[in-house]
Structure 1
C-alpha cells in the first residue's frame, strides 16, 4: 500500500497557492504571512509544499521533466526515441549534446526555482516558530535545508552558474548569479546543517516513509562532493557511508522486487517519491502542478504493446510512447546470469509493438508502465503510481568501493571495498571478484541503468569524451566538449533580467 508523509503532505495540499513561470517569485502559503509568526501547522504546510516538488519529476508546468530521463538522455545508455526527431525536439537536442538557449528542457529550471522559494519559506517559518517542541522544530529545519540542497544540486548540475537566494525577493524578483563553485559551497552548507547534531533519524518507518533521513542527507553529500571532485571531503563521505552500513538500518533486497508496488519503501530504499494512484487526485494535461502521479512509465514504454517481455517472461507491461529506447550494446555489459539485466531492460519481439524513432527493441524496465498502476481521475498517462527511487542502499556500497579503490581513501570501520563489491555481486547472482577500478565503474553502470546516474559519472570521472559518436543508423551524431557539462541558461530567463542582475550565459553558448 502506498504511503506518504501523511503528517505533512495532506495538510499542505490544501494550502498551496498557484504557481507561475516567474522563477524567482516567492509563494507564501495562506496559513502564514512571510516572515510572520508560524504555528506548527503553518510550518508543516510550508514543509509539505517543499516535498510536493518531488512529485513534479515527470510532468509539470506543461513540460516533460523526468529528472532521471533528462539525465540519461545525455549518456551512452539510451536514445531519445519517440515519434521522430522533432517529437519533443528539445529532448533530441539534449541527447545530441546540442541544446540551445531557446531549445532545452527549461521546465527543470522553473520547477526547481519554485522549489527553492518553497524551501526558503519553510526555513523562514521554522525561524519564526511559535510554541513548537524544540526537537520537532530541529527536525523540520533539517528537512527543509536538506530539500533545498537536493533541489539546488540539480540546478547546479544542469546549469552550474545560477542565481541563488535565501530570503524573500522584492519585485522584480531578481537575485545575484553565483558561480558553480559558490553554489557548491551553499549546497554543502545546507547538507551539513541537516547532518549536524543528529536532527534527522537514520531511517524512518510507517507514516514517516518518504521523509528526509540522515542517510539521505549523507548520500546527497556524497553525490555533490564526488561530482565536484572535492578530495578534501572524501574521507568525510567515506565515514558517512560506513556509518550507514554499520547502522544496519538498510539492506539489499531482491533486485527485481524493488520496482514493483510491493517493493516501495523496502529495506533498500533510503529516499523515494510517492506517486499515489488517481483516487488521491490526478494530474491533467491542463494542470501539471497538482496530483500525485507520474508520466515517466508512459513516456518510456513501447508504443502499441501487445506482447510479453522476452527477458523476464512477464506480461504485466503496458504500452506507451516509445521514448528512451535502450542502446542495443547495453545488454552485453551484463555478465551471464546477472539478475539485474531482466529487471533493468525489457525486450519485446518484432510485431508485438509499433517501432518508433531510434528503435532498438530494448526499453527501460524499472519504471515501465504496468497494468493496474494508473487509475482515473486525471489523465491516465500522467498518473502512474510508480515511485521514483531517489537514493538506494546500493549507492552506499558502490560509493565506498569507489572512494577506497579509485580515489585511494583509507577504509574506515567494517565497510571495505571487498565487502561492498561482494554484496553487490552476490545480490546480482554473480561470483565475487576483486574490486578493481574498471569493475567498480562497470557495476555502477549495471546497477543504476535508467536511474539518471551514468552521464554525471562520466563527467566527474573525466570520461565524457566517450559520448562523441556518429551513428547514422540511429540518427545520433554528437560531439563532446568540456563546455557541454552545463546546459545553456534559458534565453527566456536571461531576457527577464537586467542591470546588475542580468544573467550571463554559460560558456560555449
Structure 2
C-alpha cells in the first residue's frame, strides 16, 4: 500500500524545494531559473516535492494545522479541548468564530503557498521538457495542475481574497491579490485541465496508488463548484459523478474497515495522503518540514488513556493530548444500528483518561491514535502513519443525491438520487428511505464526521447561522456573521507587502 510513496520519497528528497516564511518567494531549480531544458528526472523530482506538501498537513512551520481539524473546529461537531482555553489559543479563537489577524492558524497559509510554488515549478519544467514520452508528460502536467488547484482551494475557502501567481516572481517577490471569484476561476481552469483529455486514469493501481486520478479531479471540481454555488456547472458535476459511478472503479466497503492500516487505498479510496511512521524519516519538533508521519492522532486522542472504547469495545487506542472532543449531541444523530456511529466516535469511561478542557467523554475515532502506528526515529507524537482520506466514493453518491434533489439537476445515466442515498444507507446497515433534502443533509453529517466537511456544508447551504451559541458549561459563546465565511488575512503577511501589492484585509476584520 505504500509502494508509490516509498519510490517518490527519494525523488522528493533530491528535488526538495527550500522553505521560507515568505510564502510568495518561488524557488525554481537552477535549470528552470536559467530557462534551460528539463529531463524527466528533473520533472519527477519537482513533482515529488509537490506531493510532499500533502504530508505537512498536521504539523509544519512549527504550527499544528491539520486541515480536517481546522475545518471542523468551526463546525457544530466538536469543541477545541486541550489543556485550557489558552492551550493553542489561536485554535480556541477559531472555534469561537472570533479569530483575529494576529491570532489564527496561519500555518495553513505558509504550507499551501509553498505547495503553489512547487506546482508552478513542475508546470514550468513540463513546458521545458526534453525526451519525455508525451503520455507521461501529460500525466505529470495534470497531476501538477490538480495539486495546485487542491492547495489553492483550501486557501480560497479559508481566506477568499488572496494573492495568486503562476510565474516566477521577480523582486520584491509579491503577487497581485485576486478576488475570491477570480481565484475560483483559476481553480476551475486547473481542475478542468486535469479532467479533460484522459491525461489521468480513473483509478490508480499497484505502485501508483497515492497518485492523482481523474476521479479525484472530478471530486475536487464538485467541492469547489458546490461551495461556490455555481449553478452553471451543476450539470457538469453531476455528469462527472455519474461517470465515476458507471466506471465501476470504486465501491463502498465496510465502514469501520476504512480507517485502520488495512483500509488504506481500499476500493472506496479515491485520493488519500500516504503517511509513514518514523522509520521512514520522522518529523521532529526541531524540523516540521521533513518526515512523513502525522500528528493528528496524538492531537485528538484523550489524555492519559488506559481503557477501551465503550462504544466499540476495542482496546486498540492510545492516549494523546485531548483536543477536538466530540459534542455530546452528535451521538444522537444516528439511527439505531447505524454502523458509522462506533466507527466515527469513541467514548471512554470516566477514570480511564484525564479529562481536559471542554471534556465531553466523546472523541473522534477515525484518526485516533492506535497502538503500533508510530515508531521512532523522530518524535513519536508527530509520526503516526494514519493516512488522511481526502476523497472517498461515498462523496460521489452524496453529491449526486444533493444535486438531483436539492438543486433540481436532471439525473444522467444510472445514478439516481434513490440509488445514491440508499447505497449509503445500506452500507450503514439501515433500511432504504426516500432521498429528501433533510435526509441528504443528515446523511452527509453522519458520513463525514471528523473529515473536515461539516462547516463548509453549513456555509454553502446558507445555514451557518446555526453556529451561533452560548453554552457556558462548555465555555463556548460564539456568533455567526456572514463575513466570517473567511478568516482575517494574517497581519504578518499584510506587513510584508507594499505598494500596488499591499494586501487588503478581508471585510469585517
Instruction: Specify if TM > 0.5.
Output: yes
Secondary structure of the structure 1 residue equivalent to 2:470: strand
- Equivalence for 1:300: 300
Deviations 1:125-158 (A, max 9, x none): 0000011000100000000000000000000000
- Equivalence for 1:279: 279
Deviations 1:150-190 (A, max 9, x none): 00000000000000000000122100000000000000000
Deviations 1:396-417 (A, max 9, x none): 0000000000000000000000
Deviations 1:3-40 (A, max 9, x none): 33455332122231331101001122467546321000
Secondary structure of the structure 2 residue equivalent to 1:223: helix
Kept in 2: contact 1:16–1:30 (CA 8 A)? no
- Equivalence for 1:402: 402
Deviations 1:46-94 (A, max 9, x none): 1111100000110000000100000000000000000000000000000
Kept in 2: contact 1:268–1:394 (CA 8 A)? yes
Q: Tell me by how many angstroms 1:231 deviates.
A: 0.2
Kept in 2: contact 1:34–1:124 (CA 8 A)? no
- Equivalence for 2:139: 139
Secondary structure of the structure 1 residue equivalent to 2:4: coil
Secondary structure of the structure 1 residue equivalent to 2:53: helix
RMSD value, Cα: 0.9
- The aligned runs of 1:95-174 (5 Å cut-off) are 95-174=95-174
- Equivalence for 2:192: 192
Kept in 1: contact 2:106–2:490 (CA 8 A)? yes
- Equivalence for 2:462: 462
Change (3 A) 1:75 1:34: farther
- Equivalence for 1:317: 317
Change (3 A) 1:31 1:336: farther
- Equivalence for 2:451: 451
Q: Distance in 2 between matches of 1:345 and 1:70?
A: 18
Q: Distance in 2 between matches of 1:343 and 1:4?
A: 28
Kept in 1: contact 2:32–2:124 (CA 8 A)? no
Where in structure 2 are there 5+ consecutive unaligned residues?
none
Correspondence 1:389 to 2:389: yes
Secondary structure of the structure 2 residue equivalent to 1:4: helix
Kept in 1: contact 2:17–2:49 (CA 8 A)? no
Kept in 2: contact 1:218–1:237 (CA 8 A)? yes
Q: Distance in 1 between matches of 2:9 and 2:362?
A: 37
Q: Distance in 2 between matches of 1:370 and 1:135?
A: 41
Kept in 2: contact 1:405–1:437 (CA 8 A)? yes
- The aligned runs of 1:403-442 (5 Å cut-off) are 403-442=403-442
Q: Tell me by how many angstroms 1:2 deviates.
A: 2.9
Q: Tell me by how many angstroms 1:464 deviates.
A: 0.1
TM-score by length of 1: 0.99
- Equivalence for 2:175: 175
Change (3 A) 1:421 1:289: same
Change (3 A) 1:34 1:28: farther
Change (3 A) 1:262 1:5: same
Deviations 1:289-345 (A, max 9, x none): 000000000000000000000001000000000000000000000001000000000
Q: Distance in 1 between matches of 2:395 and 2:423?
A: 12
Kept in 2: contact 1:9–1:45 (CA 8 A)? no
- Equivalence for 1:496: 496
Matched length: 509
Deviations 1:188-244 (A, max 9, x none): 000001111010000011110110000000000000000000000000000000000
Where in structure 1 are there 5+ consecutive unaligned residues?
none
- Equivalence for 1:477: 477
- Equivalence for 2:213: 213
Secondary structure of the structure 1 residue equivalent to 2:195: helix
Kept in 1: contact 2:269–2:391 (CA 8 A)? yes
- Equivalence for 2:3: 3
Q: Distance in 2 between matches of 1:417 and 1:3?
A: 37
TM-score by length of 2: 0.99
- Equivalence for 2:339: 339
